[in-house]
Structure 1
Amino acid sequence: MIGPHRQGDVIGGRYEITEFIGQGGMQYVYKATDLVMLRDVALKTPKNSSATKRFKRSAVVAAKVNHHNVAKTLDYIRDGDNRYLIEEYVAGADLQVALLTNNSFIDPYLAARIFHYLAKGLAAAHHANVVHRDLKPTNIMIGGGYSLTDIKITDFGIAKMADEELIDAAEGGDSTLTTSQTAVGALPYMAPEAIERPREVGPSADVWSIGAMIFQLVTGQLPFGSGLKAVMRILRDPPSAIPVFVLNNPQFSPLANDLLNIANACMNKDPGARPTADDLVMSCGQLCYARSTRVEGVIGEFNYQAWGYINSNRQRVFFHKSSVYGPKPIVDGSRVLFSSYAGGGADRAHPVVIVDN
């Protein structure tokens, strides 16, 4: 295994390591079994021993947040010279892996649902006076893939660590915005004040990050790009132009337009002019989106460049081209993700998104 532990190691006499999950800029993450409560947990430990004091402070702060769209902080322990944060385990993958592996975008219905849940989790954190500071797709856990059985914001438990590293990078300390691993990942979602006045960052910077993520999910593009070029664009430019496919289909354009208007409000250069997380919860509550299960299928027939059928492990489902979101051509054999509803003769698919094969 990568990091300081192997499968079978027992931490604090209670948490048995079962597998290595991954690592971020500041921590190793393992799946472990709580031998007392007999449940799976996420066990996190800092890479840098000098960060242990900040790790504890972050854990104490994160424990204040209790919401079903936030991964719960369960425990903090010291075992020898090492420190460990125990967090609720979410079976699934981060948003980047779960939803953006096959395509760079998702349909507006799915994006609206994600936006609503993230806003609720963020509002709960801000009510507890906790700012995440490092919101990005890799810090959002998704259970159930495109069917979204779980959506949880993670890593409030390292908020203080991320905050101090990002301040150091923005002020040109031991690392910079383009050399710090944490800063490089955060930069495409970073508010202007986090770059110019990093010690003044507050809840509105989290709102900016949520807006940047929603822009990316709907359009398939980062609103200001990535890397060093993104810095000046974040500070002075509007978000990138909207791809034609996002608004040219009347089946999707009203909701996509609503989402982009909210996302753009979140990315106002003036922190005081942005909506609050509570405002986002209210705005998202007015959006119309479905909770239907998403399944995978293959286009088996497409007739007259207008309509056809999708073959799935369930049944043959009818679709019309107006229900397809995205710029990819519709051809026989295309792999798709879709929801289906009862119809006359055959069920009908909507929405349909063609995915990379």
Structure 2
Amino acid sequence: MTNSRLGQEIGGRYKIEEFIGEGGMQYVYKAHDLLLGRKVALKTPKNNSATKRFRRSAVVAAKVNHHNVAKTLDYINESGNRYLIEELVEGSDLQAALMQRAKFLDPYLAACIFNQLARGLSAAHHAGVIHRDLKPTNVMISGGYSLRELKITDFGIAKMADEELSEAAKGGTSTLTTSQTAVGALPYMAPEAIETPDLVGPPADIWSIGAMFYHMLTGDFPYGNGLKAVRRILANEIAPAPKFMSANPQFSFLARDLLDISLSCLKSDPGQRPTADELVQRCESLCYSKSPRYEGSVKSIYYNRYGFIARVAGDDVFFNQSSVYGPQPAIPGSKLCFSMFKGGGAWRAHPVIVLDS
């Protein structure tokens, strides 16, 4: 079904080239804009229920214009089929690009992501648009750990997802345990989205960002995953932050600031959460590096204190264990992600995180 569309021309303008993936509500393709000679993302609904709401979703998404939000470019109704044309981000979603290889992110990288997400969300809320389904798979990035570009996507599709979540919460044709959309969203769902989904407002998006950043900083969902998260969210039983966040003075100040911001987003009372504008202001006050990231493996470790990182191309890089955020790499061959700076004779790595092999 998904590959059968390859080569089709939609609206006499968009030629489908590649199937990219799918979400709970839609299929996503890469297409070539024959008129302007550019690549775009082409999205089409997966079922009849979503089809009926696709145009309305496109209209909602088109209201937001910000460099941290994927721009809605066009909408086509052709022979009863609906297509949403969106700005293409040549990369992967946040979950696939960063979180599948690292249990958590260092505070510098997390702060950079937090800042850009807050800016995109602020622009949306100023336009009167609520996302309703913010989670790592709805954030697209390019550049991997170097984070060249970040854009929130699926603002329009999220309205349809919100309606499915509402139906699931009420015990409709699908439930919170059987709905694909609900299962993926549960760890990031605000309590009001579970109890009174028809009354969800901008504070629910703030909650979702807070849950995302707790996860990125700690490696754990704040309230767990799956159906068990529902009870904990409603009871506000948040998991304690791991000790490594405060154990290393190289990172403890920024990590603590980010954790405080994240927890402020997770207040049970929506009125006690910061606004998106307030999040932007707090993120702008943070001090962090945006240096490019590299990957390598531990070449040697001496006295369990320092060692060298071998890169695929380039000289070895010196690192000290105090520059590692989280558990220390124990053996040669451990995969690492790091920034590096010129030192007295060798490049020096900081910050460093351990990647899955």
Aligned to 1:334: 334
SS at match of 1:345: coil
Contact 1:55 1:160 in 2 (8 A): no
Partners of 1:330 and 1:277 in 2: CA distance: 40
1:328 deviation in Å?
Answer: 4.3
1:4 deviation in Å?
Answer: 7.3
Contact 1:301 1:308 in 2 (8 A): yes
| Aligned residue runs from structure 1 range 9-28, under 5 A | 9-28=8-27
Aligned to 1:85: 84
| Aligned residue runs from structure 1 range 168-179, under 5 A | 168-179=167-178
5+ residue gaps, structure 2, are none
| Aligned residue runs from structure 1 range 245-324, under 5 A | 245-312=244-311, 313-324=313-324
Partners of 1:180 and 1:309 in 2: CA distance: 48
SS at match of 2:344: coil
Partners of 2:341 and 2:172 in 1: CA distance: 56
Partners of 2:236 and 2:130 in 1: CA distance: 25
Partners of 2:330 and 2:139 in 1: CA distance: 31
Deviations 1:176-205 (A, max 9, x none): 111111111111000000001111100000
| Aligned residue runs from structure 1 range 54-65, under 5 A | 54-65=53-64
Contact 2:218 2:245 in 1 (8 A): yes
Partners of 1:188 and 1:50 in 2: CA distance: 25
SS at match of 1:341: strand
Aligned to 2:29: 30
Letter in 2 for 1:78: N
Aligned to 1:149: 148
Partners of 2:289 and 2:220 in 1: CA distance: 24
1:52 deviation in Å?
Answer: 2.3
Deviations 1:206-225 (A, max 9, x none): 00000000000000001111
* Runs of 4+ with deviation above 6 angstroms: none
5+ residue gaps, structure 1, are none
Instruction: Note the aligned Cα RMSD (angstroms).
Output: 1.1
Partners of 2:254 and 2:334 in 1: CA distance: 25
Partners of 1:50 and 1:172 in 2: CA distance: 17
Partners of 2:92 and 2:16 in 1: CA distance: 19
Contact 2:115 2:280 in 1 (8 A): yes
Letter in 2 for 1:179: T
SS at match of 2:121: helix
Tell me the TM-score normalized by structure 1: 0.98
Contact 1:40 1:89 in 2 (8 A): yes
Q: Within the alignment, does 1:166 sit opposite 2:165 as a pair?
A: yes
Partners of 1:140 and 1:289 in 2: CA distance: 21
Partners of 2:330 and 2:121 in 1: CA distance: 38
Contact 2:298 2:309 in 1 (8 A): yes
Deviations 1:141-178 (A, max 9, x none): 01000000011100012132112111111111111111
Letter in 2 for 1:248: A
SS at match of 1:96: helix
Letter in 2 for 1:314: G
Identity %: 65
SS at match of 1:325: coil
Say which is worse superposed, 185-194 or 324-333, in terms of deviation: 324-333
Contact 2:321 2:328 in 1 (8 A): no
Aligned to 1:111: 110
Deviations 1:104-126 (A, max 9, x none): 21111100000000000000000
SS at match of 1:332: coil
Partners of 2:103 and 2:333 in 1: CA distance: 20
Partners of 2:283 and 2:314 in 1: CA distance: 32
Partners of 1:219 and 1:240 in 2: CA distance: 10
| Aligned residue runs from structure 1 range 195-234, under 5 A | 195-234=194-233
Partners of 2:201 and 2:3 in 1: CA distance: 34
Partners of 1:307 and 1:3 in 2: CA distance: 50
Partners of 2:210 and 2:348 in 1: CA distance: 32
Letter in 2 for 1:182: T
Say which is worse superposed, 156-165 or 272-281, in terms of deviation: 156-165
Partners of 2:119 and 2:237 in 1: CA distance: 26
Aligned to 1:235: 234
SS at match of 1:19: strand
Deviations 1:296-354 (A, max 9, x none): 11111211111111121221211111001122443222111110011111111100111
Contact 1:336 1:353 in 2 (8 A): yes
